[in-house]
């Protein structure tokens, strides 16, 4: 009915059914049919139909005065929103995990802002999932597949996890040769990961270890720091440990084994059209991650292995 009211306003402004049809790119027959439908719903004739003269009835004049301004404002707003959806400028609200965003992905955010200075990036960082609908998030970066049916998701890459420890912890020479050897080592555990699932790179065989944590935390950055400080062995993503691995503060153990890969997803609400800005960031992330092996599931070079 609202669309038919807008059509009536255009008819009144054009003072012609044919003229309104031309302005709206509609056949005159369609304009006539929809106007008749509106009049039937309202129970009033709105337009005097005559081949020689156009005019509004008193009811038509009242409806025109009531709705002309509303229709005009709605159409202006719709045009502005449409233009904003297609422009690479304006606000973009993004949710992402804290640790990877301030660590391995920090250069990506910098590169995106430099590439698109007109986009005002509002980056909401949290290691807990933000409600994208409630917080009106345009696009989110998430680790792991999402079970929420209200969300679309597109895989962007993956991150390997590996067993590692500091050289200072390994000074005693008690090196683990296989996964089961980890049971006699000090373990730095993450509260949300009750078991370590390791897979053999060559055979594909898996080993699930339920290890008792000597230290248990719920923050990955603290796991890395405790490992660097020599408190034990940890299972950590290679992106989180990239710098200490490169600088020798951590070493990879069990070179034939690796932990579960953690897939990276771009996520957005199903009921919301992606703006040009959100699409731009999604494509930027896809290319950025695809060009870097560490975000495609590859482990660091052999120089970081023991």
Residue with tokens 């008749």: 36
* Domain coverage including residue 174: 161-258
At 20 the pLDDT is 77
246 closest CA partner among 303, 291, 163: 303
As to burial, measured by CB atoms within 10 angstroms (0-12 exposed, 13-18 middle, 19+ buried), residue 184 is exposed
Single out the residue in 86, 121, 150 at which a domain terminates: 86
At 49 the pLDDT is 72
Residues whose CB falls within 8 Å of the CB of residue 229, separated by 6 or more in sequence, listed in order: 166
Evaluate whether residue 299 is within a structural domain. no
Same domain? 105 vs 131: yes
Residue 272's CATH number: 3.40.190.10
Same domain? 190 vs 232: yes
Same domain? 58 vs 204: no
Same domain? 226 vs 179: yes
Residues whose CB falls within 8 Å of the CB of residue 247, separated by 6 or more in sequence, listed in order: none
Same domain? 244 vs 183: yes
At 299 the pLDDT is 77
pTM for the whole thing?
A: 0.67
Q: Are 128 and 158 in contact (CB under 8 A)?
A: no
Q: Which DSSP symbol is given to 16?
A: S
Q: Which DSSP symbol is given to 127?
A: S
Residue with tokens 């719709």: 78
Question: What's the total number of domains in the chain?
Answer: 3
Residue 63's CATH number: 1.10.10.10
Same domain? 108 vs 149: yes
125 closest CA partner among 109, 147, 102: 102
Evaluate whether residue 178 is within a structural domain. yes
Which segments in the chain show pLDDT lower than 70?
A: 1-2, 50-53, 75-87, 271, 300-306
Same domain? 137 vs 252: no
Single out the residue in 66, 86, 106 at which a domain terminates: 86
As to burial, measured by CB atoms within 10 angstroms (0-12 exposed, 13-18 middle, 19+ buried), residue 270 is exposed
């Amino acid at each position: 009915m609202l669309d038919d009211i807008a059509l009536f306003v255009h008819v009144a402004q054009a003072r012609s059914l044919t003229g309104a049809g031309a302005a709206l790119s509609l056949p005159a027959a369609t304009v006539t049919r929809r106007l008749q439908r509106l009049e039937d719903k309202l129970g009033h004739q709105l337009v005097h139909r005559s081949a020689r003269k156009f005019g509004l009835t008193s009811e038509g004049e009242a409806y025109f005065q009531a709705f002309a301004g509303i229709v005009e404002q709605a159409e202006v707003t719709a045009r502005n929103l449409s233009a904003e959806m297609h422009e690479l400028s304006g606000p973009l609200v993004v949710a992402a995990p804290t640790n990877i965003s301030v660590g391995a992905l920090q250069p990506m955010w910098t590169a995106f802002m430099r590439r698109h200075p007109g986009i005002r990036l509002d980056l909401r960082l949290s290691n807990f999932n933000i409600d994208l609908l409630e917080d009106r998030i345009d696009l989110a970066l998430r680790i792991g597949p999402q079970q929420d049916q209200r969300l679309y998701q597109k895989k962007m890459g993956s991150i390997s996890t590996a067993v590692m420890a500091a050289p200072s912890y390994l000074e005693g020479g008690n090196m683990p040769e296989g996964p089961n050897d980890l049971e006699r080592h000090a373990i730095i555990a993450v509260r949300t990961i009750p078991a370590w699932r390791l897979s053999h790179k060559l055979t594909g065989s898996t080993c699930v270890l339920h290890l008792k944590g000597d230290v248990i935390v719920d923050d990955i950055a603290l796991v890395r720091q405790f490992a660097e400080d020599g408190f034990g062995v940890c299972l950590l993503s290679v992106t989180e440990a990239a710098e200490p691995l490169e600088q020798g503060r951590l070493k990879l153990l069990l070179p034939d084994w690796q932990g579960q890969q953690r897939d990276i997803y771009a996520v957005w609400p199903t009921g919301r059209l992606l703006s040009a800005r959100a699409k731009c960031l999604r494509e930027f992330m896809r290319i950025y991650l695809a060009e870097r092996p560490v975000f495609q599931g590859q482990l660091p070079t052999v120089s970081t292995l023991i």
